[in-house]
Structure 1
Amino acid sequence: MKMKNILYMMVLFIGFSACKKDRVVSYEIEKSFPDPAVRFEDFKKAMATGTDGFQMIIETTAGPIYAGYIKLDGSNNAKFVSDNNVTNATTPKDTKYTLAISQTNSVLSFSKTGNFSLFAAGIAADTSYTYKMSVGDTLKLSGNATGTKLKLVKVTKAVGDDYLAGKMGTVFTSIDNLNKFKKYFKRLTTGGKSYDIMFDIPTKSLIFMYSNGTDWATFKSKIYYTNSGVVLTTPFVDGANKISSIENLAVDVASSTATLTSGGAAATLTNEISPVAVNKTAAATFISKPPQGTYAESFTGFTINGVADGLGTTSLSGFSSLDFVAKVTIGTASYSSLRLYLATGYYGYLPAFTCTTPADGKLFCKLAGYAGTSTNATITAGVISYTTVITQAEGFYVIPTTAITGANTYDLVNARDATAWISFH
């Protein structure tokens, strides 16, 4: 039986082979990757659709997110503005670019000696980008050296004209004007809720301080600038309130107020003398565990009525830092002190005060007197000047600023009227 089956299979095989003897059948092989030339044509077409330019959003592998606007003329010339500083946000710069195939990649490259390369070097971004995909009005590219992410979003002519007219620079000015308010607390009110906000320009961040219902809380998001405001890369959500951008910011420095829109809804900014919520444990922690172990140091002195170093402390001869020392021993008693550290060491004349941190969360420093020897009348006057502030009877709010700095840092804000504050590291 088995022999019959074998013979039968051999006959079928011989017959099947004879049918194919006189011809070779070929099958088309499906390509695993698109033809580079075809993909490049798609890339060029996608770039050409941005006749009125693109908003550009640049995300480096470390650090802030940058943004701006770029318009390519189709002949290897481009104009752009960027939000790395107010000058570049205000004044368009020219640069050269090319679209080409590199190996099998469709690539957008900027001249290595042009203005875009100078901008890129300053923010540690790439100058050559491989096209990845298009989604709606957005083109996504990836840097060829460090992996910088570049998004190009098509905009209308009106938006492009605003960028080229320097409108993004006016956003810088508006935010800078907020920092001229005389009081520390800048209160955003929207959707029936209030938040203390703070723009941190060096890190391009926006910080919210608020009550989460039971405790003091903070939220931080990176931001980038547009022609009309700033966008939060991570929206702030508090119940029904969702803040993903701040736009149309109009600041009146004289009245310390501002208006704006967020998500299309009108909102206000006011300047307040007390926080929307108090961190009840921060003052005690600041005293018991200062950032430097036994002390905390300030390199900027007191801001007074919105004026940095309003007491002139950093201008004193030999100034190095102003140190809040949690414990100094004078005779047989222990005190706290705010000591002036000069190039030669601590100045010999110092205030001595006792500190308390009651349940309301404030820090109170009561002056007991001065110790040591005065050897310079001007410096001694400076010591007395800042001591008068730190020992105000109303005390100080202690604001942890770790969310801003990423380190163990605090701002001390006078509770009398929030017109005097100092940052400690």
Structure 2
Amino acid sequence: MRSRLAYCLLLILSSFAACRKDDKSVFDLSPDERINQALSQYQAALTAAPNGWEARITTGTGSIFNFHFKFNDANRVVTYADIDTTSSGTPRESSYRLKALQQPALIFDTYTYLHMLADPDGTVNGGDDGTGLQSDFEFAIDTVTADSIKLTGRYNKTKVTLYKATPAQEAAWQNGGWRKALNFQYLGRILQYFKRLSWGTNAYDITFNNQQHTITFAWVDNSGNPHRVTVRFYYTSQGLVMVTPFTDGAVTITSLNSGSWNAGSNTLQVQVNGVTQGSIAGAVRPARVDLQAPRRWWQFAAQQDSYWASNNGFHVNGVDDAFHIRSIDNFAFLILWPAYGRQSGIIYDLLGYIIVKPDALSLDFGSAYIPPTFTTDGRIIFREFGTLGDVPAAATAAFENTNTQMIEARGYYLVQTGATTYDMVSAKDALAWISWEY
């Protein structure tokens, strides 16, 4: 019996020994060699698209951008993007590399258009300082097929799919097709507050935000109720497409195709839904005036015995803080306080300058106005009453220019932009306005 057990044990040990000898031949390549082989295959896939790759990126903030990439074997990539008229028509070359991290990764390692979306400087992309538009420039490689490559951002988890471009798609970037689609950016040259989209008998005031890729439609319905709807859009080589169509009763807008820009009249020709000819141009008054907005704005703060505030003062002729109130020493913000006080039997409004003091905020000086006039056509008109406090010599120009603008004879339209926010727009020419928040 012992002899048979010993024989069986010998067979088992021999089997294990045989397995150990065979383990050395399970893989033909070392781990490093296998990784390098995989990276080489990914690079071959990237460079195997003769017309480059198309990509559509949705950032963490919800904005949608199109890109065109063309990779070569020297770890260089040429990029176009529909961020602005420069990036959509001027190729930018940078470097890229493939690296084995937790999984193989594609890294755009020098600054290019892709980095603009992730730039933490909010002035670059319209996002918040510190986070930008919450996008990526380092991507884990998920899957590779003959016609597509799927990527996931390593930090913000941005999902990107590269699709092999056709000759026509590449040509649309190279021959200015995409750049023409971004003619909407010229709307920034319209200096009037009101930018009017018109076609047929329809008209809407719009606010266009190219950095965030949003359009806000503003209108007043037949009952006098104001409406504002903001929709996201993405570009195509023809123009822009609404992520969610804009609707107002029987009116639906799914797309706006970009036409020619007339620099003389500052007018952009468009096609609504790819069919109907229309235009976007500046206007000096709302498409339909919210007749009750001035009184609603004034009474809201008066009833609270409180004020409206503005951080930057008046925007005039395309210039923010046109009168440089932010240059006043220790300036904090501007206030409009309805029915602030009484003098000589007159209740007056106050446009006050809030100054930062070592231990508190202080209302040091301001302009007083007699009770405003509310016109039947939806305007508010201010008339000067006097000056409160002593205006510092260094603040005199900012103070006087702001006061002169406030008492402009034709007054202002009030546009409600939120539950407790309004824009006050010059009825003279719509070239000056100030934003108020409560």
- TM-score, normalized by the shorter chain, greater than 0.5: yes
- Matched residue, 1:279: 290
Structure 2: distance between partners of 1:180 and 1:120: 23
User: Which of the numbers 354, 363, 366 marks the counterpart of 1:341?
Assistant: 354
- Matched residue, 1:125: 135
Aligned-partner residue type, residue 71 of structure 1: K
8 Å Cα contact 1:69-1:81 kept in structure 2: yes
Please give the per-residue CA displacement for 1:325-348, whole angstroms capped at 9, x wherever unaligned: 234214465322222334554342
Please give the per-residue CA displacement for 1:32-72, whole angstroms capped at 9, x wherever unaligned: xxxxxxxx9x9999978853233322123335333322223
- Matched residue, 1:3: none
Q: Name the SS for the 2:365 alignment partner.
A: coil
Deviation at 1:249, TM superposition (A): 4.3
Q: 1:323-362 residue pairs with structure 2 within 5 A?
A: 323-331=335-343, 333-343=346-356, 345-355=362-372, 357=374, 360=377, 362=378
Structure 1: distance between partners of 2:185 and 2:325: 23
Deviation at 1:218, TM superposition (A): 1.7
Query: CA 1:119 to 1:379, structure 2 compared with 1: closer, same or farther past 3 Å?
Result: closer
- Matched residue, 1:24: none
Percent of aligned positions with the same letter in both sequences? Answer: 25
Residue 366 (structure 1) aligned with residue 382 (structure 2): yes
Deviation at 1:151, TM superposition (A): 3.8
Deviation at 1:98, TM superposition (A): 4.0
Structure 2: distance between partners of 1:218 and 1:388: 31
For structure 2, the residue ranges without an aligned partner over 5 or more in a row are 1-38, 120-132
8 Å Cα contact 2:184-2:258 kept in structure 1: no
Query: CA 1:383 to 1:188, structure 2 compared with 1: closer, same or farther past 3 Å?
Result: same
Q: Name the SS for the 2:51 alignment partner.
A: coil
Q: Name the SS for the 1:289 alignment partner.
A: helix
- Matched residue, 2:25: none
Structure 1: distance between partners of 2:201 and 2:258: 20
Structure 2: distance between partners of 1:378 and 1:219: 42
Residue 148 (structure 1) aligned with residue 158 (structure 2): yes
Structure 2: distance between partners of 1:45 and 1:219: 47
Please give the per-residue CA displacement for 1:212-251, whole angstroms capped at 9, x wherever unaligned: 5543322212234455544432222345654333333433
Structure 1: distance between partners of 2:413 and 2:111: 49
- Matched residue, 2:195: 186
8 Å Cα contact 1:199-1:207 kept in structure 2: yes
Deviation at 1:413, TM superposition (A): 0.9
Structure 2: distance between partners of 1:296 and 1:138: 54
Deviation at 1:207, TM superposition (A): 0.9
For structure 1, the residue ranges without an aligned partner over 5 or more in a row are 1-39
- Matched residue, 2:411: 395
Residue 267 (structure 1) aligned with residue 284 (structure 2): no
Please give the per-residue CA displacement for 1:153-180, whole angstroms capped at 9, x wherever unaligned: 55443442443567656666x4453233
- TM-score by length of structure 1 reads 0.71
- Matched residue, 1:303: 315
Deviation at 1:370, TM superposition (A): 0.6
Please give the per-residue CA displacement for 1:106-132, whole angstroms capped at 9, x wherever unaligned: x66224566477446424323214547
The 10-residue stretch of structure 1 (323-332 or 163-172) with the greater mean CA deviation from structure 2: 163-172
Residue 422 (structure 1) aligned with residue 431 (structure 2): no
Aligned-partner residue type, residue 189 of structure 1: S
- Matched residue, 2:106: 109
Structure 2: distance between partners of 1:354 and 1:343: 28
- Matched residue, 2:228: 218
Deviation at 1:369, TM superposition (A): 0.8
Query: CA 1:49 to 1:399, structure 2 compared with 1: closer, same or farther past 3 Å?
Result: farther
8 Å Cα contact 1:282-1:399 kept in structure 2: yes
Deviation at 1:256, TM superposition (A): 2.9
Query: CA 1:373 to 1:48, structure 2 compared with 1: closer, same or farther past 3 Å?
Result: closer
Q: Name the SS for the 1:183 alignment partner.
A: coil
Structure 2: distance between partners of 1:396 and 1:281: 13
Structure 1: distance between partners of 2:81 and 2:184: 16
Q: Name the SS for the 1:286 alignment partner.
A: helix
Query: CA 1:111 to 1:54, structure 2 compared with 1: closer, same or farther past 3 Å?
Result: closer
- Matched residue, 2:212: 203
Q: Name the SS for the 1:417 alignment partner.
A: coil
Aligned-partner residue type, residue 283 of structure 1: P
Please give the per-residue CA displacement for 1:331-371, whole angstroms capped at 9, x wherever unaligned: 465322222334554342422231355665x3524325113
Structure 2: distance between partners of 1:48 and 1:191: 49
Deviation at 1:409, TM superposition (A): 2.4
Structure 2: distance between partners of 1:191 and 1:73: 50
8 Å Cα contact 2:57-2:159 kept in structure 1: yes
Structure 1: distance between partners of 2:58 and 2:427: 40
Query: CA 1:145 to 1:392, structure 2 compared with 1: closer, same or farther past 3 Å?
Result: closer
- Matched residue, 2:67: 68
Query: CA 1:252 to 1:130, structure 2 compared with 1: closer, same or farther past 3 Å?
Result: same
Query: CA 1:63 to 1:370, structure 2 compared with 1: closer, same or farther past 3 Å?
Result: farther
Aligned-partner residue type, residue 157 of structure 1: P
- Matched residue, 2:242: 232
Structure 2: distance between partners of 1:357 and 1:131: 63
Deviation at 1:412, TM superposition (A): 0.8
Deviation at 1:102, TM superposition (A): 7.2
Structure 2: distance between partners of 1:187 and 1:285: 24
Structure 1: distance between partners of 2:157 and 2:387: 58
- Matched residue, 1:92: 92
8 Å Cα contact 1:130-1:144 kept in structure 2: no
